[in-house]
Amino acid sequence: MPVTSPYHLIDAAFILQLTEILGEANVFTDSQVLDNYSHDETEDLRYQPEVVVKPADTAQVSAILKLCSSAYVPVTPRGGGTGLSGGALPVYGGVLMSMERFKSIIEIDTENLQATVEPGVITEEFMNAVAAEGLLYPVDPSSKGSCFIGGNVAHGSGGPRVVKYGTIREYILNLEVVLPNGDVIWTGANTLKYASGYNLTQLMIGSEGTLGVVTKIVTKLIPRTQHNVVLLGSFLENEAACAAVSAIFRAGIIPSALEFMERKGVEWVIRFDDIKFDLKDNVKAFLMIELDGDDLDMIFKDVEKVNEVLESHGCTEVLFADTAAQKEDLWRMRRVMAESVKSNSVYKEEDTVVPRAALPQLINGVKEIGARYGFESVCYGHAGDGNLHINIIKGDMSDEDWKYKLKEGIVEIFQLTAKLGGTISGEHGIGLVQREFMPLKYSEVHLNLMRGIKRVFDPDLILNPGKIF
């Protein structure tokens, strides 16, 4: 899908300058590598870069950006390539900057409960390193086994434990950032409080690599809780399961995860992943609830309260998992759901988020819109946050309908989301694929503020162009 580009094309002299900065071994122009970096996990989209570079330190990133700025060549930074909104796709070609060599966990500071880490560290590896010190870094997107913490920062990532522990926003204290012109700043301070002018740390989080390239990350850590249990509740209707969600919080419980899964998602997981699970005929939806804490008695008291809420909302069966293997089985079911759906059909994922009590209206609305436009959907997600991932299945839909008619349906979904007080993306970002829908939620005045901020950081618009707005 070629795009008319206002940027300069890369020539041999430019490649030579890149190799002077990085050495030949870290500059790639062969078509196999270009292919590998032409896609992320977003639908079936492909955009080929002209060159792939793999810097290893801040000075190299700075030199590359300086070079690209002066040559008017676009740069697309890339983390683990697990994004679902096309944020890492080099829409205008140019330089694809992979951060995969930024692999160092520089320090885990057990005195201050902080860590300093490079952006190319895989999230789960970081979590494990921190856990080995008895500490918790709770930001665990489903892709934690392959995504990079730098990509998590770029997307303001969430994951199942947001509901108790907050998004990545609450764990990032300070960032080293290379600006598009090559200048380097630290955005803030290594402190839990910060009231020293505009909060550039928070502005960078979720900016999807359009304002600067993050080269070091200082995170907050917290003490690790000692115990957790997982419940899986079965429901005969989507709506009943969704209605139970806000009731759990009203009962005074803050679970460490509260996930919704539609029957079809579970069916596809069973087929895809060969998971053993006794799926009852009449069950239509599930809630998976994790409760954690330092005292098992307290957890069991909460389990009782949750059971009462589930029962009063029509839950027909509760599975209880307290061994590591049982818990992992349930979590695995949830984690491989996106992949399972993808293995069945081309699909589009919408990452809607609403105030949690509006979930029943959202899911009913999605199904009603689907019925009118003739598409099937599989819904699941972080229900405790009101965050519902809607996987729309191409299935037997014609290419024509998939391209044009479906879009009207998606517009209606986003309009409903906005009407319910929500927005277009909870944790996957806008990137390339949701960009066109931004005006459904945000006024031109609002979008112009974003564009203005972009120009302050990147006046030549060379960094990750074509994204967000």
Decide if residue 155 touches a copy of itself (CB under 8 A): yes
What three-state secondary structure class fits 459? Answer: coil
Return the ∠ at Cα 43 (arms to 401 and 118), rounded to 5°. Answer: 155
d(CA 228, CA 323): 10
| Minimum CB distance to a copy of itself smaller for 60 or for 352 | 352
Q: Considering the complex, state which of residue 177 and residue 397 has its C-beta at the smaller distance from a copy of itself.
A: 177
How do the residues of the chain divide into helix, strand and coil, expressed in percent and rounded to 5?
A: 40, 20, 40
Site for a copy of itself in 208-237 (CB under 8 A): 222-223
303 binds a copy of itself (CB under 8 A): no
Q: Which of 4, 44, 193, 281 is close enough to bind a copy of itself by CB under 8 A?
A: 193
Long-range CB contacts (within 8 A, 24+) of 312-315: 312/247, 313/235, 313/240, 313/241, 313/243, 313/244, 313/247, 314/235, 314/236, 314/237, 314/240, 315/233, 315/234, 315/235, 315/240, 315/241, 315/244, 315/287
- Given 10, 261, 354, 462, the residue binding a copy of itself (CB under 8 A): 354
User: Which one, 2 or 197, has the nearer CB to a copy of itself?
Assistant: 197
User: Pick from 132, 126, 102, 110: which is nearest to 140 by CA?
Assistant: 126
Q: Judged by CB under 8 A, which stretch of 124-132, 275-283, 379-387, 398-406 contacts a copy of itself? A: 379-387
By CB under 8 A, what part of segment 255-294 binds a copy of itself? 294
Among 24, 183, 308, 311, binds a copy of itself (CB under 8 A): 183
Contact pick of 128, 199, 312, 398 for a copy of itself (by CB under 8 A): 199
Is residue 114 part of the contact set for a copy of itself (CB under 8 A)?
yes
- The reply to whether 443 sits near a copy of itself by the rule CB under 8 A is yes
Note whether 302 and 324 are within 8 A (CB): no
Residue 197's CB is within 10 A of a number of other CB atoms, namely 7
Q: Does the protein bind a copy of itself through residue 351 (CB under 8 A)?
A: yes
Closest approach, Cβ 382 to a copy of itself, in A, equals 7
Pairing between β-strand 51-53 and β-strand 95-98 as defined by DSSP bridges: parallel
Nearer to a copy of itself, 49 or 138 (CB): 138
Residue 468 within binding range of a copy of itself, rule CB under 8 A: yes
- Does the footprint of a copy of itself cover residue 355 (CB under 8 A)? yes
| 202 binding a copy of itself? (CB under 8 A) | yes
Per CB under 8 A, contacts with a copy of itself among 404-433 are 418, 421-430
As a residue count, the chain comes to 469
* Residues 275 and 330: beta-carbon distance below 8 Å: no
Closer residue to a copy of itself, CB minimum distance, 34 or 287: 287
Listed ranges 52-60, 89-97, 105-113, 229-237: which one lies at the site for a copy of itself (CB under 8 A): 105-113
Residue closer to a copy of itself (CB basis): 182 or 374: 182
Q: Within positions 121 to 140, which residues make up the interface with a copy of itself, using CB under 8 A? A: 134
- Distance (Å, whole) CA 7 – CA 100: 26
Q: Which of the residues 25 through 84 are near a copy of itself (CB under 8 A)?
A: none
Q: Of the candidates 59, 203, 319, 346, which one interacts with a copy of itself according to CB under 8 A?
A: 203
- CA–CA dist 163, 168 (Å, integer): 12
Cα–Cα distance for residue pair 185/411, rounded to 1 Å: 39
Q: Does 438 bind a copy of itself (CB under 8 A)?
A: yes
Read off the tokens for 255.
């679970």
- Residue 334 interacts with a copy of itself (CB under 8 A): yes or no: no
> What's the min distance (Å) between Cβ of 235 and a copy of itself?
19
Angle at 347 between CA 345 and CA 353, to 5 degrees: 140
Q: At what angle do helices 359-373 and 238-250 cross, to 10 degrees?
A: 160
Token couple for 227: 């115990």
> Of 45-53, 93-101, 318-326, 436-444, which part binds a copy of itself (CB under 8 A)?
436-444
